[in-house]
């Protein structure tokens, strides 16, 4: 996701916007830019890198301007560079955008045929030229309305036009946009922190709403131009909370961003009507996907847990053998990977040294490398043969949460692509599973709505010094992930184990002081899990179970129980990990830990 801000009023617009960009930098930080009215024209200054790099372009002084728009980028289409940085322009129309335009390729082809020259690789530039097509004949707000009729996807945008100095037009659809109300000055931004120290009076736009602002005031309308009245909210935050969007910690914010992260990762990647998966997004041809010999998935930490879930998905759905390994092990065991094989490297940061080393070794041995990565232009992305970007937005908290659920979502889509390419699944069956995928963001939202139950359970368990997490099948990796979250956030020792393995040793640990967390979704292994629970119960163990709605058998065996919405078995992995993320977070808070920057850890391990 990116950060956008616009200002019009009596103050120094450039300084207000540059300051706002610094406060939005948590939303994306690979390039930044600003556009401002000066001398009757619009000037644009952009830089690759962080906002501090953009500031160097004003060392000789800041021109006087009363209206400006700015952007800090987290790239989704087009690598981080000055030419891909926002704002973008089409003659006198200038624009900043946060979101993903699904049909940009089709629109780009049509506009190029009309003679428009594209200067960037971004989807955003398409919107600029579309507005320009109408801007000569209509006021800016009308031109924007006409332009967006052709656009599919998510957008929060702010546009200005040389002909109408002082006016900013903003529109919201699927990406956040809010309006700040000052005295004779007005703001539009992705998030409140951008203008928080100038105004605490905010209007939150809803999808399909437009704001037209000049220094004389603000008008909110529908996309048909009908004025609408909106509630003005007064924000009671501290500046530091404002940077986290009102959450106390980035980790909690990112846990709550998972519905959007999954939705953005899915957006534009398949056609649910036909069941087709958009292979362009994987950077692989159908022929390649059909003919790979063996698939290896290699990663570290939480990403390795996603890889383990991916194995279950791909082998079950596509019936193709998958070998999963930890990057630091794989590269030293003289791996058998060879030409004709596929290596999938999963890495949130795209900079993990062990994973990068495996990518290089696999390519040296002749294998094709697909990177599933969350940072556009990262080393992993640049060195891979193909890249599938998770669009979960920048993950600031050291503990990986939304990137993990986006990785599983990506692997599930890849499994469908392989199954379709190899004739293991019909388009109709794929379409049904894609419908389930589309329901996932709402189901995550639902379970986040009852997260105070998890906080209550955390208060019961936070003094324990050991935890055991147990799961079967594809929920075994989720047990591993739950244990890792607890370890890295609370410093409590925790182990994830296959539930069937407990009786081969770990059961010796069971006593009344050991909380045992069971992942107990419905399915073919449900009865087995119940047997394992009874083995723990009979030895006085304390049981916290995660179940799907209505499972009274498991809840009666449990000391604590939390239920998640029913779903397809593969998607239950995503729904079941979210309560475990929250459990680790709340126990960390209760134990006074620094949940965003735990001791000894780094967000990206760029050394071996």
Q: In terms of CB distance, is 18 or 486 closer to ligand AGP?
A: 486
Show the site string, 272-311: x = touches ligand AGP by CB under 6 A, - = not.
----------------------------xxxx--------
Pairing between β-strand 201-204 and β-strand 178-181 as defined by DSSP bridges: antiparallel
Lookup result for tokens 């996907």: 289
Q: In terms of CB distance, is 81 or 303 closer to ligand AGP?
A: 303
Give me the least distance between CB of 458 and ligand AGP, in Å please. Answer: 18
Q: Judged by CB under 6 A, does residue 390 bind ligand AGP?
A: no
Confirm if 43 and 76 have CB atoms less than 8 A apart: no
Q: Judged by CB under 6 A, does residue 398 bind ligand AGP?
A: yes
Chosen residue from 8, 72, 400, 532 binding ligand AGP by CB under 6 A: 400
Chosen residue from 84, 355, 390, 572 binding ligand AGP by CB under 6 A: 355
Give the range of 129-137, 138-146, 176-184, 392-400 binding ligand AGP by CB under 6 A.
392-400
Give me the least distance between CB of 387 and ligand AGP, in Å please. Answer: 14
Q: Determine if residue 275 is left, alpha or beta; phi over 0 gives left, psi from -120 to 50 gives alpha, anything else beta.
A: left
Confirm if 346 and 301 have CB atoms less than 8 A apart: no
Report long-range pairs for 307-311 (Cβ below 8 Å, ≥24 apart).
307/344, 307/346, 307/411, 308/474, 308/476, 308/477, 308/480, 309/408, 309/411, 309/474, 309/477, 309/478, 309/570, 309/573, 310/344, 310/346, 310/407, 310/408, 310/411, 310/414, 310/415
Q: Judged by CB under 6 A, does residue 371 bind ligand AGP?
A: no
Lookup result for tokens 């469908």: 416
Name residues whose C-beta falls within 8 Å of residue 404's C-beta, 6 or more positions apart in sequence: 302, 303, 305, 306, 348, 481, 577
Q: Burial of 282 by CB count in 10 Å (0-12 exposed, 13-18 middle, 19+ buried)?
A: buried
Q: Judged by CB under 6 A, does residue 604 bind ligand AGP?
A: yes
Q: In terms of CB distance, is 8 or 405 closer to ligand AGP?
A: 405
**What is the C-alpha to C-alpha distance for residues 245 and 457, in angstroms, rounded to an integer?**
26
Show the site string, 312-351: x = touches ligand AGP by CB under 6 A, - = not.
-----------------------------------xxx--
Count, in order, helices (H) and strands (E) of the chain: 20, 26
Show the site string, 475-514: x = touches ligand AGP by CB under 6 A, - = not.
-------------x--------------------------
Alpha-carbon distances, residue 350 vs 25, 235, 281, 341, 364 (angstroms): 19, 36, 17, 21, 19
Give the range of 25-33, 189-197, 397-405, 544-552 binding ligand AGP by CB under 6 A.
397-405
Q: Judged by CB under 6 A, does residue 409 bind ligand AGP?
A: no
Q: In terms of CB distance, is 390 or 545 closer to ligand AGP?
A: 390
Give the range of 1-9, 157-165, 168-176, 393-401 binding ligand AGP by CB under 6 A.
393-401
Q: Judged by CB under 6 A, does residue 378 bind ligand AGP?
A: no
Give me the least distance between CB of 314 and ligand AGP, in Å please. Answer: 19
Residues assigned a catalytic role = 2, 603
Confirm if 193 and 24 have CB atoms less than 8 A apart: yes
Q: Which stretches of the chain bind ligand AGP, using CB under 6 A? A: 300-303, 347-349, 352, 355, 398-400, 488, 604-605
């Amino acid at each position: 996701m990116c950060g956008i801000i616009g200002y019009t009023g009596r103050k120094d617009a450039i300084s207000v916007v540059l300051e706002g960009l610094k406060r939005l930098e948590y939303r994306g930080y690979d390039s930044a830019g600003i556009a401002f009215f000066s001398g009757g024209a619009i000037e644009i200054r952009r830089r690759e890198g962080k906002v501090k790099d953009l500031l160097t372009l004003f060392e000789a002084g800041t021109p006087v301007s009363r209206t400006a728009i700015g952007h800090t980028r987290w790239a989704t289409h087009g690598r981080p560079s000055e030419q891909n940085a926002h704002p973008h322009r089409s003659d006198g129309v200038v624009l900043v955008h946060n979101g993903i335009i699904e049909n940009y390729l089709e629109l780009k082809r049509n506009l190029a045929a009309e003679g428009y020259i594209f200067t960037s690789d971004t989807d955003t530039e398409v919107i600029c030229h579309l507005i320009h097509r109408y801007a000569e004949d209509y006021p800016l707000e009308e031109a924007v309305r006409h332009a967006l009729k052709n656009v599919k996807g998510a957008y929060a945008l702010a546009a200005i036009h040389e002909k109408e100095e002082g006016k900013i037009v903003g529109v919201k659809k699927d990406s956040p946009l809010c309006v700040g109300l000052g005295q004779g000055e007005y703001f539009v931004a992705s998030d409140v922190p951008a203008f928080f120290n100038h105004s605490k009076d905010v209007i939150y736009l809803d999808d399909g709403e437009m704001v037209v602002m000049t220094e004389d005031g603000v008008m909110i309308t529908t996309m048909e131009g009908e004025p609408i009245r909106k509630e003005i909210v007064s924000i009671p935050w501290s500046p530091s909370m404002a940077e986290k969007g009102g959450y106390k910690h980035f980790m909690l914010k990112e846990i709550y961003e998972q519905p959007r992260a999954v939705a953005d990762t899915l957006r534009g990647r398949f056609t649910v009507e036909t069941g087709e998966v958009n292979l362009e997004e994987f950077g692989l041809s159908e022929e390649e996907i059909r003919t790979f010999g063996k698939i290896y998935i290699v990663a570290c930490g939480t990403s390795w847990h996603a890889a383990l879930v991916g194995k279950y998905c791909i082998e079950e759905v596509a019936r193709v053998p998958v070998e999963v390994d930890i990057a630091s092990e794989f590269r030293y065991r003289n791996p058998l990977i060879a030409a004709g094989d596929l290596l999938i490297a999963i890495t949130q940061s795209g900079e993990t040294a062990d994973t990068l080393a495996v990518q290089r070794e696999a390519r040296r041995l002749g294998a094709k490398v697909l990177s599933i990565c969350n940072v556009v232009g990262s080393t992993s992305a640049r060195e891979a043969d193909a890249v599938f970007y998770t669009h979960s937005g920048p993950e600031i908290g050291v503990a990986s949460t939304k990137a993990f659920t986006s990785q599983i979502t990506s692997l599930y889509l890849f499994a469908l692509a392989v199954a379709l390419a190899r004739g293991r699944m019909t388009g109709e069956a794929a379409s049904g599973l894609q419908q389930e995928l589309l329901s996932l963001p709402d189901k995550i939202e639902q379970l986040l709505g009852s997260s105070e139950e998890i906080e209550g359970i955390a208060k019961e368990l936070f003094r324990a010094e050991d935890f055991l997490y147990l799961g079967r099948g594809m929920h075994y990796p989720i047990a591993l992930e739950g244990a890792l979250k607890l370890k890295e956030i609370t410093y409590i020792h925790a182990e994830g184990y296959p539930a069937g393995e407990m009786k081969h040793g770990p059961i010796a640990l069971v006593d009344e002081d050991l909380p045992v967390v069971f992942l107990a979704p419905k399915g073919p292994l449900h009865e087995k899990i119940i047997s394992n629970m009874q083995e723990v119960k009979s030895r006085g163990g304390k049981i916290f179970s995660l179940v799907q709605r209505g499972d009274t058998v498991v809840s009666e065996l449990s000391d604590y129980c939390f239920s998640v919405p029913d779903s397809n078995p593969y998607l239950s992995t995503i729904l079941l990990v979210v309560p475990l993320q929250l459990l680790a977070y709340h126990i960390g808070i209760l134990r006074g830990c620094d949940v965003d920057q735990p001791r000894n850890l780094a967000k990206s391990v760029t050394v071996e």
